[in-house]
Amino acid sequence: MIYLDNAATTKTKPPAVIEAVTAALTQFGDAGRGAYGASLDAGLTIHRTRKAIAQLLDAPSPSRVAFAANVTEALNAVIEGLLSAGDHAITTAASHNSVLRPLYRKQERGIELSIVPIAPDGSLDYDAFDAAFRPHTKLAVVTHASNVTGDGYDAARMASIAHAHGAFLVLDAAQTAGARPISMTDEAIDVLCFTGHKSLYGPQGTGGLCVAEGVEIPPFKVGGTGFASYDHQQPARMPESLEAGTQNAHGIAGLGAGVDYVATRGVAAIEREVSAMTARLEEGLAALPGVKIRGGHGGAFRCGIVAFTLGERDSSQVVDELAQDFGLCARAGAHCAPLMHEALGTVEQGVVRFSLSSFTTDEEIDAALDAVSAIARRG
Amino acid sequence: MFVITFASTEEAMDASDTLAAASVRFRTMPTPLAISAGCGIALRLDGDDALVRRAWDALGRPRSAGITFHRACEGGFEPWMPQETSEDMAIG
């Protein structure tokens, strides 16, 4: 199997992640519900994973990191919590449905929404982004990097623009947390939403949000927290204000091991390695007959993603042939990012997306190029 | 015997790690019902004032309502705060 769908989820995990989850499954009680060893093991692991994430992403403090089931849940919590009827919100056409759908739902409930277009080359016009703000703009929810093309957008610049208009900047870092260095503090990001199962190499069912000091998000999910049981209200302070119910401690244990892996390897080193392989993959694909690379060079940076079309062929057909004949795993179609495809002009055809991780090898790149070459020759 | 209580589970876990790193001996226990506290997890210190003072220093000399020290006494617990020294006054 050649696995090139890491933008969906990283299939190859560091061994320590698997060991951590296995150990947690045999050892953990329910965090925060008891003062005995098994409960404390879970609680301390969750706490230490918070610390590791806060350090990796340069968040204000561990207590400003709240876990969620995935980045979609984190984004929903932010959008639901921070926007009220009459507010205005901004996003871009690079956004994933995890941003678009909550915003559309809020629009049905009385917010105003502006969507800043993306150019066919994947680039964002920051002047247009600036021009989208209105006096009642509450927040801009933007993707850090497109899950379709890998084009990345300047978070610090967008934060600066948002703050100049008195609005918050919420960053969907699904494709970038762990893939490139991020500093919430230096880049002045108000809320950073992350997923655990992509470039942080944790299990599915993990993710969360890092919230800057001074940004208070009313919870959309309330319930048990293991303390203050007689209070009718959810505790007001993070992280527990945004963590009702039993946490996925088994998954968070794995996430902690994944974050340790990334921190030990070095995010910048991972980014360099993946960038080099991405460039080689793209160069090889671009030389093949009928292959058209889509986006990837319009952003402020680029993630380990290459999107392409092959002639006029349905991307689903291409991906099916890659899987059946060559054992190559990739994604086709719209990638839950409909507006990006409108920008690229690929709504009907979709794109084939290859996405790399720190475990992708040169041999896999070579095999992918051979596979696409063979399919391209078939016509 | 002394007990430290917390406003949240996260605070209790953070304190556990901090005290362990400072080699302050403690054990966790359910928060005694005699103490009104937010978090159900408390840290117990079996020792004298010197030990508790070390714990207090390690936790950053808390004075807010979140991290609270209690001394066991007849009938329950009473709040504990170290006696102010001239050093504390200078720092504070």
Percent of chain B whose predicted confidence (pLDDT) is above 90: 52
Distance CA A229, CA A225 (A): 8
Which residues from A are below 8 Å from B39, CB to CB?
Answer: 32, 226-228
Q: Is A237 helix (H, G, I), strand (E, B) or coil?
A: coil
All residue ranges of chain A with pLDDT < 70 are 379
Report phi then psi at B30, rounded to 5: -65, 145
pLDDT over 60 at B89, yes or no: no
Residue B92's pLDDT is 45
Q: What token pair was written down for A109? A: 């409930």
* Nearest residue in B to A225, CA atom: B9
User: If contacts are CB pairs under 8 Å, which of residues 176-235 in chain A contact chain B?
Assistant: 225-229, 235
Q: What is the reported pTM?
A: 0.93
Distance CA B4, CA B43 (A): 5
A24 within 8 A of A249, measured Cβ to Cβ: yes
Residue B88's pLDDT is 55
Residue B63's pLDDT is 74
Would you tell me how many other CB atoms lie within 10 Å of the CB of residue A7? 28
Residue A126's pLDDT is 98
Point out which residues pair with A308 in neighbouring strands.
A293, A352
Q: What token pair was written down for A246? A: 């039993």
Point out which residues pair with B44 in neighbouring strands.
B3, B27
Residue among A31, A47, A227 minimizing CB distance to B17: A47
What's the angle, vertex CA A208, arms to CA A203 and CA A213, rounded to 5? Answer: 150
The predicted model gives B46-52 an average pLDDT of 92
* DSSP assignment string, A125-146: -HHHHHHT--TTEEEEEEESB-
Q: Is B8 on the interface with A (CB under 8 A)?
A: yes
Residue A343's pLDDT is 95
Q: What does the pLDDT look like over A83-101, one tens digit per residue? A: 999 999 999 999 999 999 9
Query: Is there a contact between A33 and B12 if contact means CB atoms under 8 Å apart?
Result: no
Residue A285's pLDDT is 98
Distance CA A247, CA A103 (A): 26
Point out which residues pair with A172 in neighbouring strands.
A143, A193
Query: Is there a contact between B10 and A31 if contact means CB atoms under 8 Å apart?
Result: no
Distance CA A351, CA A316 (A): 8
Residue B87's pLDDT is 56
Q: Is A35 on the interface with B (CB under 8 A)?
A: yes
Evaluate the omega torsion of the peptide bond into residue A239 and state whether it is cis, within 30 degrees of 0.
Answer: yes
In order of A77, A81, A113, the CA distances from A140 in angstroms are: 15, 14, 10
